[in-house]
Amino acid sequence: MEILQNFGWVTLGLVLLYFGAEWLVKGSAAVAIKFGVSPLIVGLTVVAFGTSAPELLVCLLANMTSDGGDFAIGNLVGSNICNILMVLGASALVFPLTIHTQIIRREMNILLMASLIFAAMLYGGQLSRIEGIILFVGILAYVTYSIYDAKRSPIANAEMDLDDVLSPEEIEAARQGGAREMAIDLGLIVIGIALLSFGANRLVLGGEALALMLSIPKAIISLSLIAFGTSLPELATGIMASWRKEGDIVVGNAVGSCIFNLLAVGGLTAIVSPLQIFDLSVVDFLVMLATVVLSMVLMKTHRSISRIEGVVMLALYLGYSVYIYLRDGGGA
């Protein structure tokens, strides 16, 4: 009976992830049309912040425990690795991703800089409140400039890139609609984010219980399932957007979520309570940095991520997961 219940949680989680991703992408596309901005900007801000909500919740809750710093930081590092290698890799398998020039010239450099600063701050084994404030000021500056830049260079025909996401009737309604239509679109975004967060929670809950019933070591569960689970909203949104051939939302969501994880989630968590780390491997930070550099190289090569490159990224993520198992759980 317990097995059936856990399978039920897993199934419910998958269903909620599907509908949450569907409504989040639709609502975000409509908002992009209404404001006349690129879907990339919406992906980098609204969608990225929304899909980073599980990481924020997990980190805040983890930091209330005595050894929560390792768990919280490990979740952020693992989620960023997952966002780049798995989310972009899986999305590229569904449909090759075309990379917007802005991502290559600005966002990837910001992500690399944020990753280096984040790793440097943790070199001494602690993320203080002052450092948390610095990180959070960074995300405020990033979002403010992104919105300012979008308004300075509006894209009047943004809906032309969204015909695989919305029907012609939905595009026209988004363009001509007033406050009521805007409220509906924003409601889709909020409900989509809520469903993604709850769906990921249910999927992880059921998966963790099943893993324990199958005698899988707890170390493996915490290092892989939790980081994977908090990245499920990005994965579900990425696959759905890729299926609808909306690559800007895919890449903007993945890269934007990584930036939000480090600056917003890491910053807010440290502001609430300084993060102490005791048993976090430097290898994980190096893998996170190497992942960012690798993705930058792939993006700059042909301004795209092909299906073959997606396979390579997924293989690297699988290899990293195997490494974690051998390092932390193989002897359990």
Q: How does DSSP assign 64-83, residue by residue?
A: TSTTHHHHHHHHHHHHHHII
User: Percent of the chain, pLDDT > 90?
Assistant: 25
- Phi-psi bin for 220: left (phi > 0), alpha (psi -120 to 50), beta? alpha
Which residues lie below 8 Å from residue 330, measured CB to CB, with a gap of 6+? none
H or E stretch covering 182: helix 179-213
Report yes or no: 200 and 13 within 8 Å, Cβ to Cβ.
yes
Label residue 74 by pLDDT band (50, 70, 90). Answer: confident
Mean pLDDT of the chain: 78
* 114-119 long-range Cβ contacts below 8 angstroms, 24+ apart: 114/138, 114/258, 114/259, 114/262, 114/263, 115/80, 115/258, 115/262, 115/288, 115/289, 115/292, 116/289, 118/262, 118/266, 119/285, 119/288, 119/289
| Cα–Cα distance measured from residue 28 to residue 30, given in angstroms and rounded to the nearest whole number | 5
Which of 3.40.47.10, 1.10.10.10, 1.20.1420.30, 1.25.10.10 would CATH assign to domain 2-329?
Answer: 1.20.1420.30
Q: What is the mean pLDDT of residues 226-230?
A: 66
The domain spans of the chain are 2-329
Give residue-wise pLDDT tens across range 36-54: 666 677 777 777 777 777 7
Label residue 243 by pLDDT band (50, 70, 90). Answer: confident
Beta-bridge partners for 275: 127
Name the DSSP class of 279. S
Give whichever of 157-161, 236-240, 319-323 has the largest mean pLDDT: 319-323
User: Percent of the chain, pLDDT > 70?
Assistant: 74
